[in-house]
Every structure is written in C-alpha cells, then in structure tokens.
C-alpha cells in the first residue's frame, strides 16, 4: 500500500566516491597522524576519545570554533562496526555542512512481520531514510573533523582520566602505553564499554544484545531487496529483527536484538529469521554481536572537565535502539560545550558549563528517550498492537514515516496525538 500523506523528501545527498582518505588539502593523511603523535605532549583545548560518529562530531564542532583539538582512537579507519547503518532524518540534520553521504540504498518501503507471520509491505512515495556501510560513513566523519582542523591519532587506547581537585585548569587522559595527554576539556565518546564513561559514573537501566550478519547475495537477490527493508517483531519481549539492503555492495545486513540475558534464544531467533527469509544458503561475510546500553535517567553526563556523549553516555533510542542520530547530536553538543569548559576559569565556572551541557541533552534527547522507554514497555507487552497499527492503520503508518524522515519524534507524537497515547496505554496494560 502506498502512503499518500504529505511527508516531505528526506533530501539526502549521496556520493559515489570510494571513501579513500582525503586528509588536509595537499597533505598525506599519515603525515597528519605522525605529526599529531609527535605533539601529544602539548596542552590541547579539547581531547576527544573515540572516533565514531559521536567523537568525530564533537571534534568537528570544537575544531570549527578554532580550538586545538585532538581526536584519539584505538582503531584505524575504515573499520567494521556492527550496525544496520540506517540514516534517518535527525541523523541527516546533525551532519556537518556539505557532508557527502555514501549511500548504499534509499529506503521507500517497509515489510512488517510479527515473528514471521501476517506480513505486509507499506510503501511511501517519498524516501524514508538512507542506508550506509558504517566503515565508510565513519571514515568520512573522521575526515570531516580533520578538515575542520582536528588532529587524528589512531592506534592509541585511552585507559582512564586523571583530574586534580580545586581550580586545576587541565585534565589528563592516560594511554595504554603509559603516556598522558593534557587537555583543558575531554569528551568521552569511546563506545558503550567506555572507560571515560566509567570515570564519569555513567549508569544504565537497559542493556540489550544485538546480533548481526553481513550476507553477500547474488545480484538478483540484491535487486529484489532494493529500496525495501524488513522489520520483524520478534518472539522475545522487546525483540525485533531487520534486513537492511546494501545494494551497491551486494550485501544484506540481517540482525536481531533483544534483552541481555537471552543470548541463546537471541541466537536461535537470528538463525530462524535468516532461514525464514530464504537466506540460510548464503555464507555470511561477517558475523558479530554487541551490547547496547541506555542510560538511567539520573545518570551523570559530566565530571569536572570531562563530558560524555553517544554510546559512552548511554544515549540511544530505547525502543528501536537507534544510536547514530543520538551519537551525532550529542557529539555536536559535547564539542560545543567542551569549548566552554576549556575556557572556564574556576571550578564553579566549569560546573556551570557542564550543567549547561547536561541540560541541553536532557531537554532534547532526554525527552525523546523517556518517550521511547514508554513505547518499549508497551511494545514488550502487546507487540501485535504495534504491528497492527503500522502495517494496517494509515495514520500510524504515516506517523512512522514522518518519524524516520525527521519531521516528528515519538515524544511529539505522544504529546500531540491522543491516538498515540492511547496505543501506548492500551498496550501497556497488564
């Protein structure tokens, strides 16, 4: 069925380039990295730990303001990342200006299923969102941060942070090889198992296990999936599966997610899902898993001159577990406020700027996370109601489409539409 609503195009810009590192104009990227490593002993305005979407966005934001910024990562780009690679409207809106998205496919149709049953495909006349491979997407974000002036140093792992009390104007990031990097502000963006997050004291009230397979398929199979994703509301509470086609590279990203502690049953769900889709005859190129962690509502976002963003702060959408847009948005805010922290004088001023960052996160992403937790709690109890809503009821489908396109959020839907509140309330009843 075709959506005839008035949603607008996502207007994503793609680029058919191969993602090769560009670095600074006229400069070899390796020379930039070596030069950065040689200058680790200097005092940096902002040190960002982790060069994923959150870290690269933070580094770009701080460097764009003319500050001396160091971006550290233990891995070299490009590197594989377990992720479906969906770029929804809020992700698009948080990207640096003139960023070229390396789109693998443009999604305009969704096939919904309830644990393999009652399958229905909904189509939109307008693009819903785009799909990327994370290795190329993350590489281009790093390049964007470098072009803004950040210095990238890879192959170094941060093991902790040292902060002195009182009115000390710097903080030290400790590296695995024993070196220490001095900064006026630090942004921790080193993933869901973040060392920097541990220093800040980040706590979580939701931990989920995601399993994924990258499956190369023949061109005929790839063409059949082009422009369409599959979402399967799974057999475990709060679980679902997905197929995201990467048409340009001829692969299907197939994954499932459910609550931590259901490891064996989650593996069984993925195997059954792949089998139902008729894909079990193809050998996966990569099989991987990861834990996603959602912050507790009272979890801190800073400690002294250290801020956390993205997965390191437990910032992601609780129901869908979408994290790219949360990483990009929180990273940009962290980079902006890290500049203010770096310029702060005494401890009182540092606290004030860190509290401003926390307020900015909670007023935006925090509100969205609260709504997402309501949606997840309701979905866990009555997944069939959600399936019925998005696969059959036109207003619910249009709301889904407008959410992916970035025209609204779960929080706005629940605030502005009685039907959305009623669905959550009915589904959530014991």
pLDDT tens track for 350-384: 999 999 999 999 999 999 999 999 999 999 999 99
Among 192, 246, 187, smallest CA distance to 215 is for 246
Same domain, 61 and 143: yes
| Higher per-residue pLDDT: 418 or 154 | 154
What number is the average pLDDT over the span 270-278?
Answer: 97
CA distances from 360 to 49, 124, 392 (A): 21, 34, 37
Does 23 fall in a domain? no
> Residues 280-290: pLDDT tens digits?
999 999 999 99
pLDDT at 31 over 50: no
**What pTM was computed for the model?**
0.89
Backbone angles phi, psi at 322, to 5 degrees: -70, 130
For residue 206, which of 375, 82, 404 has the smallest C-alpha distance? 375
Q: What is the reported pLDDT for 303? A: 96
Tell whether 281 and 223 lie within a shared domain.
yes
Confidence of residue 422 (pLDDT cuts 50, 70, 90): confident
218 and 304 part of one domain: no
C-alpha to C-alpha distance for 318 and 323, rounded to whole angstroms? 9
What are φ and ψ of residue 272, in 5° steps?
A: -65, -40
Residue at a domain's end among 277, 294, 311: 294
CA distance 207 to 295: 9
CA-CA distances (angstroms) from residue 31 to 26, 152, 155, 179, 189?
11, 11, 15, 21, 24
Q: Answer yes or no: is 333 within a domain.
A: yes
CA gap 358, 372 in Å, rounded: 19
The pLDDT of 109-114, averaged and rounded, is 98
User: In the chain, what percentage of residues exceed pLDDT 70?
Assistant: 89
- 250 and 278 in a single domain? The answer is yes
Q: Are residues 360 and 399 in the same domain?
A: no
Report how far residue 58's alpha carbon sits from residue 393's, in angstroms, rounded to the nearest whole number.
40
pLDDT digits (tens, 9 = 90+) for 244-263: 999 888 999 999 999 988 89
pLDDT score at 420: 72
- Taking the C-alpha atoms of residue 180 and residue 173, their distance in angstroms, rounded to an integer, is 5
**Same domain? 250 vs 303:** no
Instruction: Tell me what pLDDT residue 427 has.
Output: 61
What average pLDDT does the segment 184-201 reach? 96
In a domain, 115, yes or no: yes
Report the C-alpha gap between 408 and 398 in whole angstroms. Answer: 11
Confidence bin at 320 (pLDDT 50/70/90)? very high
pLDDT score, position 248: 86
Average the pLDDT over 397-409 and give the result. Answer: 95
279 and 225 share one domain: yes
User: Confidence class of residue 40 from pLDDT cuts 50, 70 and 90?
Assistant: confident
- Given pLDDT bands bounded at 50, 70 and 90, which one contains residue 32? very low
120 & 253 share domain = yes
Q: Predicted confidence band at 11 (pLDDT cuts at 50, 70, 90)?
A: very low
Q: Produce one character per residue of 141-150: b if its CB has 16 or more CB atoms within 10 Å, e if not.
A: bbbbbbbbbb
| Mean pLDDT in residue range 391-401 | 95
User: Does residue 24 belong to any structural domain of this protein?
Assistant: no
Domain range holding 418? 2-8+372-428
Token pair belonging to 297: 């509502």
Give domain status of residue 91, yes or no. no
Is residue 117 a part of any domain in this protein? Answer: yes
Q: Please indicate, yes or no, whether residues 213 and 225 belong to a single structural domain of this protein.
A: yes
Task: Select from 258, 277, 294 the last residue of a domain.
Answer: 294
Q: Contact at 8 Å (CB) between 143 and 27? A: no
pLDDT surpassing 60 at residue 102: yes
Q: Do 67 and 142 sit in the same domain of this protein?
A: yes
Alpha carbon distance 57, 115 (integer Å) = 37
- Is there a domain that residue 176 lies in? yes
Angle of the 383-392 helix axis to the 367-381 helix axis, nearest 10: 110
CATH of the domain at 214: 3.30.9.10
pLDDT band with cut points at 50, 70 and 90 for residue 46: very high
Binned at pLDDT 50, 70 and 90, residue 416 comes out as confident
Q: Please, which residues bridge with residue 181 across strands?
A: 173
pLDDT recorded at residue 297: 94
Report if residue 21 sits inside a domain: no
Q: What are the tens digits of pLDDT across the range 211-233? A: 999 999 999 999 999 999 999 99
Asked which of 268, 294, 320 is the last residue of a domain, the reply is 294
Q: What local confidence, expressed as pLDDT, does residue 39 receive?
A: 60
pLDDT at 240 over 50: yes
Place 428 in a pLDDT band, splitting at 50, 70 and 90.
low
Number of domains in the chain: 3
Residues 249 and 389 in one domain: no
Mean pLDDT, rounded, of the chain: 89
Sheet of 228-233, strands arranged across: 2-3, 117-124, 109-114, 228-233, 240-246, 251-259, 204-216, 286-295
| Residue 163, domain CATH | 3.50.50.60
What integer pLDDT is reported at residue 7 of this predicted model?
36
Label each residue of the chain as H, E or C. CEECCCCCCCCCCECCCCCCCCCCCCCCHHHHHHHHHHCCCCEEEEEEECCCHHHHHHHHHHHCCCCCEEEEECCCCCCCCCCCCEECHHHHHHCCCCCCECCCEEECEEEEEECCEEEEEEEECCCCEEECCHHHHHHHHHHHHHHHCCEEEECCCEEEEEECCCCCCCEEEEECCCCEEEEEEEEECCCCCCHHHHHHCCCEEEEEEEEEEEEECCHHHHHHHCCEEEEEECCCCCCEEEEEEEHHHCEEEEEEEEECCCHHHHHHHHHHHHHHCCCCCCCCCEEEEEEEEEECCCCCCEECCEEECHHHHCCCCCCCCCCHHHHHHHHHHHHHHHHHHHHCCCHHHHHHHHHHHHHHHHHHHHHHHHHHHHHHHHHHHCHHHHHHHHHHCHHHHHHHHHHHHCCCCHHHHHHHCHHHHHHHHHHHCC
| Band (14; pLDDT cuts 50, 70, 90) | very low
The confidence band for 166, taking pLDDT boundaries of 50, 70 and 90, is low
Q: Are 75 and 165 in the same domain?
A: yes
Average confidence (pLDDT) over 118-123? 97
> Is the N-terminal amide bond of 78 cis, ω within 30° of 0?
yes
């Amino acid at each position: 069925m075709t959506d005839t609503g008035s949603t607008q195009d996502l207007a994503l810009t793609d680029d058919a380039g191969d993602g090769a590192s560009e670095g600074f104009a006229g400069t070899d990227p390796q020379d930039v990295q070596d030069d950065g490593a040689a200058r680790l002993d200097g005092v940096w305005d902002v040190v960002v730990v982790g060069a994923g979407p959150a870290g690269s966005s933070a580094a770009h934001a701080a460097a764009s303001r003319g500050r001396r910024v160091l971006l550290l990562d233990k891995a070299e780009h490009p590197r594989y990342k377990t992720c479906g690679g969906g770029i929804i409207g809020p992700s698009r809106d948080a990207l640096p200006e003139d960023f070229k998205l390396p789109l693998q496919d443009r999604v305009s149709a969704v096939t919904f299923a309830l644990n393999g049953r009652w399958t229905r495909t909904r189509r939109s006349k307008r693009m819903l969102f785009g799909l990327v491979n994370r290795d190329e997407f993350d590489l281009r974000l790093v390049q964007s941060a470098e072009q803004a002036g950040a210095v990238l140093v890879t192959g170094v792992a941060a093991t902790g942070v040292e902060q002195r009390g009182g009115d000390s104007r710097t903080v030290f990031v400790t590296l695995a090889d024993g070196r220490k990097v001095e900064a006026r502000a630090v942004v921790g963006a080193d993933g869901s198992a973040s060392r920097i997050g541990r220093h800040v004291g980040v706590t979580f009230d939701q931990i989920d296990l995601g399993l994924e397979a990258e499956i190369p398929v023949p061109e005929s199979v790839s063409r059949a999936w082009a422009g369409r994703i599959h979402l399967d509301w799974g057999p475990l509470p709060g679980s679902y599966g997905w197929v995201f086609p990467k048409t340009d590279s001829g692969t299907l990203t197939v994954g499932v997610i459910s609550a931590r502690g259901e490891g064996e049953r989650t593996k069984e769900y993925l195997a059954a899902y792949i089998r139902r889709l008729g894909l079990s005859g193809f050998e996966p190129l990569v099989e991987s898993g990861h834990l996603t962690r959602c912050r507790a509502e009272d979890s801190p976002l800073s400690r002294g001159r250290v801020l956390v963003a993205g997965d390191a702060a437990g910032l992601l959408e609780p129901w869908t577990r979408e994290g790219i847009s949360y990483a990009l948005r929180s990273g940009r805010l962290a980079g902006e406020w890290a500049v203010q922290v770096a310029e702060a004088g005494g401890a009182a001023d540092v606290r004030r700027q860190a509290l401003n960052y926390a307020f900015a996160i909670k007023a935006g992403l925090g509100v969205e996370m609260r709504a997402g937790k309501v949606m997840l709690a309701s979905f866990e109890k009555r997944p069939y109601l959600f399936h019925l809503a998005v696969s059959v009821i036109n207003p619910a489908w249009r709301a889904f489409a407008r959410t992916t396109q970035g025209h609204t959020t779960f929080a706005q839907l629940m605030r502005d539409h009685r039907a959305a509140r009623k669905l959550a309330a009915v589904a959530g009843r014991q």
